[in-house]
Amino acid sequence: MSLTPHSERSQIVKVLQVIDETVDAKSFVFATEWDYQPGQFVTLRIPSDLTGSVARSYSLYTSPFDAVRPGVTVKRSPGGYASNWLCDNLSEGDEVEVLPPAGAFVPESLDVPMLLLAAGSGITPIMSILSAALSQGSQHIVLLYANASDADTIFYDDISSLEASHPGQLTVIWWQAEYRGIPDADSLAAVLSPYHSRATYLCGRDEFMAACKEALRVIGTDRSLVHQEIYASLSGDAFADVVPHETTDAEAADAASVTVYNLGATFTIAWPRDRTLVDVLIAGGHDVPYSCQSGECATCICRLSKGTVSMDVSDGLDPEDKEDGYILGCQAKPTADELEVEY
């Protein structure tokens, strides 16, 4: 039976290939072509008897610069619904509903020395960035990749091949806990100190990310160089469309005013107090990034350079992002009269 899209943004794609990566991780390659950037993710709609469906995001492990179809890698979460459903049920030739590539975990430049830090399934966006940087740049890249054991290591053969084919450009620090112990801040700092001034991208379990961030702080890496992807299970319906809302006279009379700097364009619009920034910008016909609409994926991240906002959910931001003035457009509502936002 053919699927029908539930949202204006979503599309139905066919699974071209299913690859067993490890005993608890599978890659799904899609029979489609997307315009995407290394490090981005797609969101899949997974059927559920309980709730009708759930939405889950999965990073693309492929590089847009390689002549390959896009794919995601799903690692089973113990007790998790969607990851196990996908690994148990999604087969070659099946259709799946997908929100197109999104996300801000994208390198500003692929031709700078990089430090890539990944653990477990956190390798997927890092693999995309690594492949893209190796093909598009010529700078040295260090990948530190932590796993429980060799058998648990997703893309072990692919990364080994990249290491062999890019001697001098790629250094891989394999960190198997079975030999080296769980990476903590001290042991990571000892290994990472030569790379303190590099653009750094990290993704993995919470404890790994916390240890990496502490290690980077200890070795003196400037916070502005550090970028992370936070994995979370989406709680809302990411497939719901943003419905443009007609501003009432009362809302307009009480609205704040926001000046937006977006991709070189500057404009000022009214921002009704009980509406999110994404809502007002989409209603105003402005093309701004968003995906989950529930404050969890950080696709809508932007910087507040003037004014204040409230956010019901801000899980997609870490405390450092918030200190630096970053907000989530899908959650932000104005609590000042005049605001400025930079995308």
Ligand X SMILES: Cc1cc2nc3c(=O)[nH]c(=O)nc-3n(C[C@H](O)[C@H](O)[C@H](O)COP(=O)(O)OP(=O)(O)OC[C@H]3O[C@@H](n4cnc5c(N)ncnc54)[C@H](O)[C@@H]3O)c2cc1C
Q: Is 41 in the site for ligand X (CB under 6 A)?
A: yes
Q: Is 290 in the site for ligand FES (CB under 6 A)?
A: yes
From 82-90, 157-165, 171-179, 241-249, span contacting ligand X (CB under 6 A): 82-90
Asked if residues 262 and 249 have their Cβ atoms less than 8 Å apart, the reply is: no
Q: Is 299 in the site for ligand FES (CB under 6 A)?
A: yes
HSE value, Cβ hemisphere, 13 Å, CA-based, for 281? 26
From 39-47, 250-258, 260-268, 293-301, span contacting ligand FES (CB under 6 A): 293-301
Instruction: List the interface residues with ligand X, window 147-206 (CB under 6 A).
Output: none
From 20-28, 37-45, 126-134, 298-306, span contacting ligand FES (CB under 6 A): 298-306
The listed partner (ligand FES, ligand X, none) that binds 282, CB under 5 to 8 Å by sort, is none
Asked if residues 153 and 147 have their Cβ atoms less than 8 Å apart, the reply is: yes
Instruction: List the interface residues with ligand X, window 203-232 (CB under 6 A).
Output: 229, 231-232
The listed partner (ligand X, ligand FES, none) that binds 330, CB under 5 to 8 Å by sort, is ligand FES
If we measure between CA atoms, which residue out of 208, 237, 231, 84 comes closest to residue 148? 208
The listed partner (ligand X, ligand FES, none) that binds 28, CB under 5 to 8 Å by sort, is none
> Helix H segments across 220-324?
249-254, 277-283, 319-323
Instruction: List the interface residues with ligand FES, window 314-343 (CB under 6 A).
Output: 316, 328, 330
Q: At what angle do helices 156-165 and 123-136 cross, to 10 degrees?
A: 20
Helix then strand count (H, E) for the chain reads 9, 18
Tokens (6 digits) for 195: 């790379």
Task: Give the separation between CA 226 and CA 197, rounded to whole angstroms.
Answer: 10
Q: b/e for 142-153, b at 16 or more Cβ within 10 A? A: bbbbbbeeeebb
Task: Give the separation between CA 116 and CA 239, rounded to whole angstroms.
Answer: 31
Q: Is 137 in the site for ligand X (CB under 6 A)?
A: no
Q: Is 15 in the site for ligand X (CB under 6 A)?
A: no
The listed partner (ligand X, ligand FES, none) that binds 299, CB under 5 to 8 Å by sort, is ligand FES
Q: Could you list the residues that contact ligand FES (CB under 6 A)? A: 290-293, 295-300, 316, 328, 330
Q: Could you list the residues that contact ligand X (CB under 6 A)? A: 41, 56-59, 72-75, 77-84, 103, 121, 124, 229, 231-233, 296-297
